[in-house]
Amino acid sequence: MITVNYFGNIAEATQSDSETLDQKSMSLEELLNLLDSKYDIRKFQFQVAVNRKIIPKQQVLTISDSDEVALLPPFAGG
Amino acid sequence: MKKVFLEGAISPEFIADSIAKHQGKHSIGAHNIFLGQVRADEVGDNKVVAIEYTTYEEMANEKLHEIREAAFEKFNLTCLHIYHSLGKVGVGEICIFVFVSSPRRKQVYEATEWLVNQVKEHVPIFGKEILDNADHQWKVNS
């Protein structure tokens, strides 16, 4: 299972804070394409965190079982 | 892990109490405090009445820990505290409280500004600006 967490305006679009995908492994590109087909996420500005570390969206990376992915809109602390 | 996130606005009593707690630390000669207050920004014909904060808490806590460690490396500090609100904070209320203490004055100014900038840039906190017509928009740090 791959967990995907949503925040801010993206959580609004997905109508959920988090979901689990029944996948053992997929590339980051495949994951983003899947989420885009479901929620049209490319219209939002966001960064990707994998296991709580921000990584470039274009990075060639395999997301595996038990990884935690998060889509982070622009930060607004303070 | 130090507790940073508090539910709702940060009260003046909480801030006063934090100051009082340092009176027993006699190596301190200077404190500096930054308080961020929710502003009634105008959005077209409407005004912001509150900001509702959310966070990715596990990642935020990891990031805040790194920021604390880096601050102690970079500046000569006795202690530092960062508090940030979650949930709804009305205009005029305090949403961030950064409190830096050192033996001497010079470092606390620099450290406070550095810390506030780090929190704004690197900690995953999100802000929903609630308008007076009940509409909302998402805050973006400039």
pLDDT in tens, A5-37: 999 999 999 999 999 999 889 999 999 999 999
- Rounded to two decimals, the ipTM of the complex is 0.94
Number of domains in chain B: 1
Structural domain range at position B42: 5-138
pLDDT at B142 over 80: no
Task: Please report the pLDDT score of residue B47 as a whole number.
Answer: 97
Chain B residues with CB-CB distance to A77 below 8 A = 53, 55, 84, 96, 119-120, 123, 125, 127, 141
Across the range B11-40, mean pLDDT stands at 97
CATH code, domain with B22: 3.90.1170.40
User: Could you tell me the domains of chain A?
Assistant: 2-72 (3.10.20.30)
Q: How confident is the model at residue B141 (pLDDT cuts 50, 70, 90)?
A: confident
How much is the mean pLDDT over chain B? 96
List, in order, residues 6 or more apart from B84 with CB less than 8 Å away: A77, A78, B4, B5, B6, B53, B55, B95, B96, B97, B119, B123, B125
Q: Which residues of B40-68 are buried (b: 16+ CB within 10 A; e: fewer)?
A: eeeeeeeebbbbbbbbbeebbbbbbeebb
Across the range B129-134, mean pLDDT stands at 96
Task: Please report the pLDDT score of residue A42 as a whole number.
Answer: 94
The answer to whether residue A76 neighbours chain B at the CB level (below 8 Å) is yes
List, in order, residues 6 or more apart from B42 with CB less than 8 Å away: B48
Task: Please report the pLDDT score of residue A21 as a whole number.
Answer: 93
Residue of B nearest to A52 (CA): B59
The distance of B72 to chain A (nearest Cα, Å) reads 21
- In single-letter form, the type of residue at position A74 comes to P
pLDDT at A51 over 90: yes
Chain B residues with CB-CB distance to A73 below 8 A = 126, 138
Chain A residues with CB-CB distance to B98 below 8 A = none
Chain B residues with CB-CB distance to A75 below 8 A = 120-126, 141
